[in-house]
Each structure stands twice: as structure tokens, then as C-alpha cells.
């Protein structure tokens, strides 16, 4: 794996701010693909 190869402060910030950023993008009208349950479609990287 790539444990600890990334900038840990940047990774923490990205994880902390991801959900509010998605909500903000939705408020701007950005379309996201949805599952049948209505959740935002996600895929593993």
C-alpha cells in the first residue's frame, strides 16, 4: 500500500471537508449520479 506517503495534514483536511464540499456543489446545481436508493454513486479508486 501507500501508507503515510501522502501529506497527512492535506489528507485529513480533504476527508474533513469532503461532505460539506459535495453539499455546496449540489447547491450550485452540479449533477451527481445517484444509486437507486438516492445516494450519490461512489466507486473505489
Q: What is the pTM of this model?
A: 0.67
Consecutive 10-residue runs of the chain (45 residues): their mean pLDDT? 86 95 96 94 85
Q: What is the pLDDT of residue 43?
A: 85
CA distance 27 to 29: 5
Give residue 45's Cα distance to chain centre.
Answer: 12
- Give the domain extent around 17: 1-45
Count of the separate structural domains present in the chain? 1
Amino acid at each position: 500500500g501507500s501508507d503515510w506517503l501522502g501529506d497527512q495534514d492535506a489528507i485529513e483536511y480533504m476527508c474533513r471537508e469532503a461532505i460539506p464540499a459535495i453539499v455546496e456543489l449540489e447547491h450550485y446545481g452540479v449533477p451527481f449520479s445517484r444509486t437507486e436508493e438516492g445516494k450519490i454513486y461512489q466507486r473505489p479508486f
